[in-house]
A = this chain, B = another copy of it.
Amino acid sequence: MRRIAFEDPGDRDTYAIAERAGLEAVPVPVDEHGVDVAALVGTGARAVLVTPAHQAPTGVVLAPERRQALVAWATEVDGLVIEDEYDNEFRYDRQPVGSLEGLAPNRVASIGTVSKTLAPALRLGWIVCPSWLVEAVAHEKRIADRGSPGLDQLALATLIESGRYDRHLRHMRTVYAARRAALVEALAAHAPDIALTGLAAGFHAVAHLPDGREERAVVSAARDRSVGLYGMSRYRADAAIHPPRLVLGFGNLSVSAITRGVAAIADLLAGE
C-alpha cells in the first residue's frame, strides 16, 4: 500500500482523509526544529504533509538543514512533499520564510487557502504543484467535486486584482499581531512561570504547563470558566505520556477577551 507521512503532533483528521484516498498514514515526530527528517526516511513513505513555515500546532519553523534534508529525501525516493501554507500570510516579527516549493518546485506541492486570510466558510484554496502532477490533481478535483464554486472564485479574483486583498492582509497583520502581543503580555503578568513557544505568527501559541499538570483537567477547568483552549494531546498520534502543553488560539478574540482569558487560566492554575 502507498504510504504518506504526517507530522506528529498534527491535525488528526488527516489520517481518516488518507484512508479515504487508499493511503497508509504514518506519523513522524516533530521537535523544536520541525519535522524529524531522519525519522521520515525510516518510514518508507514517499509522500509527506508538512507545515514548514509554522508547524501546526507546535508553532516551530522547519530549520534550514531540515529543509535541505527534506528536499533531498523527496528527490532520493522520487517522492512528494506537500507543503501546507495554511497561515503563511501572518508572520509578525519578520518576513515569512521562503516556501519549500521555491526550493524544489519539482518535488513540492504547496497548498494555500483563504480560510485564515478571509474566512474558512469560503472553502477556497489553491495548489501550486509540479507540472507532472497538474493533470492528475485537476482530474481528482473534478472527480471529487467538479470544481469549487464559481461566483466565490470570481469575487476573490476581483478582491485580489483590485489590491483590496493585500490591503486587508496588511491591516489584519497589525490586528492579529496586537492580539498575540496581548497574549504574551497577559501571560507574563498573570502567569510568569508558564513558557510560551511558537513563532510570532499565525493564530496560536503553545503554553508549557508545569510538569505533572494534567492537560485534560486544565482544559476542562478552563471550559468551566468559559475559556476555550486545547490540549496538545488531541494532536498527537499516540497516547503516551508527553509534557503537558496547551494550544492557545488568539485569532478570533478581542484583546480584552484574551487578557481576561489568560487571567482566568492563571487563576485556575494557582487555585488548584
Does A268 sit at the interface, judged by CB under 8 A? no
The contact sample of 24 A-B pairs, CB cut-off 8 A, is A13-B142, A13-B143, A16-B143, A17-B143, A20-B21, A20-B143, A20-B144, A22-B22, A120-B146, A121-B149, A121-B150, A121-B151, A122-B149, A122-B151, A123-B145, A123-B147, A123-B148, A123-B149, A123-B150, A124-B149, A144-B144, A144-B145, A149-B152, A151-B152
CA distance A17 to B124 in the complex (A): 22
Query: Shortest distance in angstroms between A119's beta carbon and chain B's nearest beta carbon?
Result: 8
Please report whether the interface of chain A is mostly helix, strand, loop or mixed according to DSSP: helix
Among A22, A124, A149, residue most surrounded by chain B Cβ atoms (within 10 Å) = A149
Question: A20-B140, A145-B145 given. 13 additional CB < 8 A pairs?
Answer: A20-B21, A22-B22, A119-B150, A120-B146, A121-B149, A121-B150, A122-B149, A122-B150, A122-B151, A123-B145, A123-B146, A123-B150, A144-B144
CA distance A142 to B140 in the complex (A): 18
CA distance A15 to B145 in the complex (A): 14
Report B-chain residues with C-beta under 8 Å of the C-beta of A122: 149-151
Report B-chain residues with C-beta under 8 Å of the C-beta of A22: 22
CA distance A144 to B21 in the complex (A): 10
Query: Shortest distance in angstroms between A219's beta carbon and chain B's nearest beta carbon?
Result: 22
Query: Shortest distance in angstroms between A167's beta carbon and chain B's nearest beta carbon?
Result: 21
Interface string of A120-138 (1 = CB under 8 A from B): 1111100000000000000
CA distance A16 to B121 in the complex (A): 28
CA distance A149 to B150 in the complex (A): 11
Report B-chain residues with C-beta under 8 Å of the C-beta of A21: 20
Query: Shortest distance in angstroms between A136's beta carbon and chain B's nearest beta carbon?
Result: 12
Report B-chain residues with C-beta under 8 Å of the C-beta of A121: 149-151
Within 8 A of B (CB), among A95-132: 119-124
Among A13, A17, A121, A150, residue most surrounded by chain B Cβ atoms (within 10 Å) = A121
Within 8 A of B (CB), among A17-51: 17, 20-22
Q: What 7 pairs between A and B have smallest CB-CB spacing?
A: A121-B150, A123-B149, A16-B143, A149-B149, A17-B143, A149-B152, A122-B149
Report B-chain residues with C-beta under 8 Å of the C-beta of A120: 146
Report B-chain residues with C-beta under 8 Å of the C-beta of A119: 150
Report B-chain residues with C-beta under 8 Å of the C-beta of A151: 121-122, 152
CA distance A145 to B142 in the complex (A): 13
Query: Shortest distance in angstroms between A1's beta carbon and chain B's nearest beta carbon?
Result: 12
